[in-house]
Amino acid sequence: MWIFVLIFLSNLSAREYKDDRIAANYYEGETLVYDCKEGHWVCAAQSSVDLCQKNRGKSEEREQKSWPCVVFNKYSTTEQCHKFVEILVNDPSSKTFCHRSDFRHELTQY
């Protein structure tokens, strides 16, 4: 009997966790993040933000010219974050924030 209960609970938690995935590296949450590699905005959970910052640190250690992602702002609700994503998706402005500041001058030459 206990084995059945444990299997049921583990499957339930796996489904709940999976349902929150909104992109390859992101789970839904309140923090606005731009994925520089994939080129899209997400409202990410704290675990995804932590991974983004970890990958950004690795990028800096390797002296790469571009960040893998950029964390912008944490909102009080996921819905508030989504409102900003709706605005930003249609913004054609340059995403120079994906490039490390010490390499941005190279971009303006082209």
Flag whether 3 is in a domain.
no
Flag whether 35 is in a domain.
yes
Model confidence at 9, pLDDT cuts 50, 70, 90, reads: very low
Flag whether 39 is in a domain.
yes
Domain count, the chain: 1
- d(CA 110, CA 103) in angstroms, rounded, equals 13
Q: What is the pLDDT of residues 42-96, one digit of tens each?
A: 999 999 999 999 999 999 999 999 999 999 999 999 999 999 999 898 887 778 8
Q: Which residues span the domain enclosing 46?
A: 26-91
Cα–Cα distances in angstroms (integers) from residue 39 to residues 8, 73, 88, in the given order: 38, 18, 12
